[in-house]
Amino acid sequence: MQLPDSNIALRNLSAIIDFSNNINSNLNLEFALNNLLLTCFGKLKITKGFIALFNDEDELKINLSKGFKSEIFDTFPHVINGKVGIEIFNSYMSANKFGLVKEIVFSDQLLGFLVLGEKLSKEDFSEEDNQFISTVMQIGSAAIRNVQSFEKLSNVNKVLDSKINQLNSIFDLGKEFSSILEIERVSKLLVYSISAQMLVSKYAIVIFNENSNLILESKYEESKLNEIMSSEEINSINSAILLNENNTFCRNCSELGIALIVPMMIKKVKKGLIFLGSRITKNQYSKSDIEYISSIASFAIISIENSRLFDEALEKQKLEKDLEIARSIQQNLLPKKLPKSSVYQIDAVNKTAKMVGGDYFDIVEISKNEILIAIADVSGKGIQASLLMANLQAFLKSIYKQNYKLQEASNFLNDLVSENTTNGSFITFFWGILNLENKQFTYVNMGHNPPLLIRDKKITKLKKGGMILGVMKTVIPYEYETVELKSNDAIILFTDGVTEAMNINNEEYGDERLENLCLQNSENEAKSILKKILADVELHTKGANQSDDITSLILKIN
């Protein structure tokens, strides 16, 4: 039955109004295209059709298809708007014998194509059909354009939102990192922020210490991570590196599924690395993501560095406190005043180095007729040396009160020190007793720099004795020697802090220079000889740091 023309027009019109109302009611592309296709299907009795639109990259992509078997899209050509593939597209279209192909155009801009299959009735498309489709397409193309703009805008908004979110995160961390934090805390906050922002659950943070790597956080096996850290490629990293599945950059990294490596830099120096696995969303890390990670990484590493410097300063302060204690122990062990006698003169000095060595000397009037002098250099520095020195002094004081002969006392002293020292400490030690009546000087040298006996411009070194004190218990008894001192004899005792005093060129003061100086000045008083020695050593070491204690003791017979 043939319908009157006016009825056809009315039906077309109502379909168009219906379509127009619908398509503009929803800002969803799929909905709009669906509506467009279904309206054509319904009005023209068609069962197959698809819509292909150019995407943001101007590539033609099928957005919606109905009724066609998917195989026919296997050969769908790659078309770029206004550039390539339009001939292939045309031949694809004619090869597949589609019923109708219409360009979707909005104000001279080609948005894509509407492709329809044959009519169910196998009839050709009539003039009216064509007109209907044209009208629908005009309304449809405007709607498509609207939706596309809206989607583009909401994508831009989303990108902006996530940028704002990243900035907030940077701001949040920056605030937190600006105060001194424990390193563990900093790395925790860092991984919290990254794992949330990037939605990544596998990560590791490694920082470089002076000669080792410190793994702060790791969701990977540590041995594997260490293997990676020792590889050449990792050493060469100076900027963020994206790894895809078939990269050849770092095989071990791909095995662990590491997708991104970001160095943590301070002033262009690499201080650590952040390893990240792939994102749960399967999205690639974008340039802006990497920028974000790099920014908070540099905040974090500065905070870590600060924390480390803070700890170091604290440690140094503690050490200095230790040294102060050591120095005061040491000073308290030394005799407060020197004895005076008509038979001899004595003078001594102990200049402690910054690091506090273990020099010690003592002068004790054992009886009316006897005076004991001792000089020692305890191994080690700081508190440990001071405590050993205090022990030595205690042993010394208890032994000489027992009235042992010096040789026996030496054997006994060595046993005591050996028993009471640990981890290889030892003492170079020299002691001697001067009898004021007969001026006999009996001494034992236990590995100490031999004191110089100067008589008539000649030097005799006082070497008799035995092993260094405290190395092992006495097996071979110490030897002793007694020298008859004469008027004007001088004995110069010193520690290696004198002969090994360094100048700015790291040259030692030396035994020879000391011996020559003493020979030249042996006629002088004890006090003056000591002054000369100190002045000459000072001259030598001018501008250099004192590296060891300097101790010297001069005994001069009147």
Stretch that binds other proteins, among 23-31, 39-47, 154-162, 495-503 (CB under 8 A): 154-162
- Cα separation, 498 vs 517, in Å, equals 13
161 binds other proteins (CB under 8 A): yes
Q: Out of 40, 189, 207, 383, which residue is the one contacting other proteins (CB under 8 A)? A: 189
What angle is formed at CA 274 by the lines to CA 237 and CA 232, rounded to 5 degrees? 30
Pairing of strands 269-277, 258-266: antiparallel
The 3-state DSSP class for residue 88 equals helix
Give which of 379, 450, 364 is closest to 409, Cα–Cα: 364
At its nearest, how many Å lie between other proteins and the CB of residue 120?
A: 43
Contact call for residues 15 and 38 (beta carbons, < 8 A): no
Stretch that binds other proteins, among 143-151, 185-193, 516-524, 540-548 (CB under 8 A): 185-193
At its nearest, how many Å lie between other proteins and the CB of residue 183?
A: 15
Give which of 380, 379, 351, 347 is closest to 363, Cα–Cα: 347
216 binds other proteins (CB under 8 A): no
Is the CB of 169 or the CB of 345 nearer to other proteins? Answer: 169
Is the CB of 144 or the CB of 200 nearer to other proteins? Answer: 200
Is the CB of 192 or the CB of 310 nearer to other proteins? Answer: 192
Give which of 292, 224, 212, 304 is closest to 258, Cα–Cα: 224
Is the CB of 170 or the CB of 333 nearer to other proteins? Answer: 170
Cβ-proximal residues to 491 (8 Å cutoff; 6+ apart), any chain: 432, 441, 451, 452, 453, 454, 462, 485, 554, 555, 556
Give which of 390, 501, 518, 398 is closest to 453, Cα–Cα: 518
Tokens for 219, please give them. 């969701």
Is the CB of 194 or the CB of 553 nearer to other proteins? Answer: 194
- Cα separation, 435 vs 485, in Å, equals 10
Stretch that binds other proteins, among 67-75, 187-195, 244-252, 513-521 (CB under 8 A): 187-195
Is the CB of 177 or the CB of 443 nearer to other proteins? Answer: 177
Is the CB of 282 or the CB of 542 nearer to other proteins? Answer: 282
Is the CB of 63 or the CB of 169 nearer to other proteins? Answer: 169
Strand extents, DSSP E, 82-230: 100-106, 109-116, 203-208, 213-218
At its nearest, how many Å lie between other proteins and the CB of residue 301?
A: 16
Q: Out of 11, 45, 152, 158, which residue is the one contacting other proteins (CB under 8 A)? A: 158
Stretch that binds other proteins, among 56-64, 188-196, 368-376, 497-505 (CB under 8 A): 188-196
* Angle between helix 127-177 and helix 287-333 axes, rounded to 10 deg: 10
178 binds other proteins (CB under 8 A): no
162 binds other proteins (CB under 8 A): yes
Number of amino acids touching other proteins (CB under 8 A): 25
Tokens for 411, please give them. 């054997």
Is the CB of 282 or the CB of 457 nearer to other proteins? Answer: 282
Q: Restricting to residues 247-306, name those near other proteins by CB under 8 A.
A: 280-281
At its nearest, how many Å lie between other proteins and the CB of residue 205?
A: 13
Q: Out of 59, 151, 176, 370, which residue is the one contacting other proteins (CB under 8 A)? A: 176
Q: What sections of 284-379 are H helices per DSSP?
A: 287-333
Is the CB of 22 or the CB of 218 nearer to other proteins? Answer: 218
- Cα separation, 460 vs 89, in Å, equals 112
Is the CB of 168 or the CB of 488 nearer to other proteins? Answer: 168
Q: Restricting to residues 403-422, name those near other proteins by CB under 8 A.
A: none
Q: Edge to edge, what strands does the sheet with 258-266 contain?
A: 213-218, 203-208, 269-277, 258-266, 241-242
Q: Out of 28, 131, 168, 235, which residue is the one contacting other proteins (CB under 8 A)? A: 168
Strand extents, DSSP E, 173-251: 203-208, 213-218, 241-242
At its nearest, how many Å lie between other proteins and the CB of residue 233?
A: 29
Is the CB of 105 or the CB of 280 nearer to other proteins? Answer: 280
Give which of 39, 41, 103 is closest to 68, Cα–Cα: 41
What single string gives the DSSP state of each residue in 129-159? HHHHHHHHHHHHHHHHHHHHHHHHHHHHHHH
Q: Out of 81, 169, 522, 541, which residue is the one contacting other proteins (CB under 8 A)? A: 169
Give which of 484, 528, 535, 531 is closest to 509, Cα–Cα: 535
Q: Contact letters (x/-) for other proteins, 445-484, by CB under 8 A?
A: ----------------------------------------
The CA R_g of the chain, rounded to the nearest whole Å, is 48
Residue 74's φ and ψ, nearest 5 degrees, are -60, -30
What single string gives the DSSP state of each residue in 8-41? HHHHHHHHHHHHHHHHTS---HHHHHHHHHHHHH
At its nearest, how many Å lie between other proteins and the CB of residue 175?
A: 7
Give the residues across from 364 on adjacent strands. Answer: 372
Q: Restricting to residues 191-210, name those near other proteins by CB under 8 A.
A: 191-197, 199, 201
Give the residues across from 446 on adjacent strands. Answer: 429, 466
Stretch that binds other proteins, among 184-192, 326-334, 360-368, 514-522 (CB under 8 A): 184-192
Tokens for 517, please give them. 């100086």
Is the CB of 188 or the CB of 308 nearer to other proteins? Answer: 188
173 binds other proteins (CB under 8 A): yes
Question: Interface residues with other proteins (CB under 8 A)?
Answer: 158, 161-162, 165-166, 168-169, 172-173, 175-176, 185, 188-189, 191-197, 199, 201, 280-281
